[in-house]
Amino acid sequence: MKNPLDTEPISDLRNRSGNVNPLNAIRKNHRFHIYVCDAIEEVANDLPDRIDPDRCMRIADTLTRELPMHHADEEQGLFPLLKKRSLPDDRMPNILQELARQHAIDSDQAAELLDPMSRIATGKTVKNPDMLGYMFRSFVETYRRHLIWEIEFLLPLAHKRLYSEDLVDLKIQMMNHREKPAKLMG
């Protein structure tokens, strides 16, 4: 079986003529990010002696490339559409503000993981593996919880509220993020 870290999580969006529901693509991307959390947790468990450098490099690449794209898909694509289509009882402005805040925290924490993950990937030793393992697990715990909340609450609500033309707009936005990813990471 192919390692999920070796794949582009939602490559099926690249087919512009295909009938890909972007909400399903986001759900697939959430599952990919949960797998990344599992991989980070495995690295934390393997510290300091049983490190797989290739896995660490793939994790670092994912945190650098996929995480900003995922956040952009939601913040620039999905969230504005949900805000526009939500009902007052949905309390969507407050929810979206909180999710954007969580994205900023996730991005900051992921940035803090990059240097030690890259050091491990290149065979360098870490000074305090227990502290590093704690840092990795802390990121995993909060990020996994965030992803599950979006899977269980936000995406089902999006399926109820968004119109077909919204889905077309969201798909185009997501494809554009993949065609110009450097702008997201800049």
Q: Say yes or no to pLDDT of 4 above 90.
A: no
User: According to the model, what pLDDT value does residue 126 have?
Assistant: 84
Q: What domains sit in the chain, N to C, each tagged with a CATH number? A: 21-185 (1.20.120.520)
User: According to the model, what pLDDT value does residue 26 have?
Assistant: 96
Highest mean pLDDT out of 18-22, 85-89, 179-183: 85-89
Q: Say yes or no to pLDDT of 157 above 90.
A: yes
Residues ≥6 apart with Cβ < 8 Å to 37: 140, 143, 144, 147
The pair of structure tokens assigned to 23 is 């909400």
**pLDDT tens digits along 22-78:** 999 999 999 999 999 999 999 999 998 888 999 999 999 999 999 999 999 999 999
The Cβ of residue 73 has, within 10 Å, a number of other Cβ atoms equal to 23
Q: Say yes or no to pLDDT of 130 above 80.
A: yes
Reported pTM: 0.89
* Weakest-pLDDT range from 11-15, 56-60, 84-88, 110-114: 11-15
Residues ≥6 apart with Cβ < 8 Å to 97: none
User: According to the model, what pLDDT value does residue 20 have?
Assistant: 82
3-state secondary structure of 169: helix
pLDDT exceeding 70 applies to what percent of the chain?
87
User: According to the model, what pLDDT value does residue 178 have?
Assistant: 85
| DSSP-H helix ranges across the chain | 22-46, 53-72, 79-85, 92-121, 129-149, 155-161, 164-179, 181-185
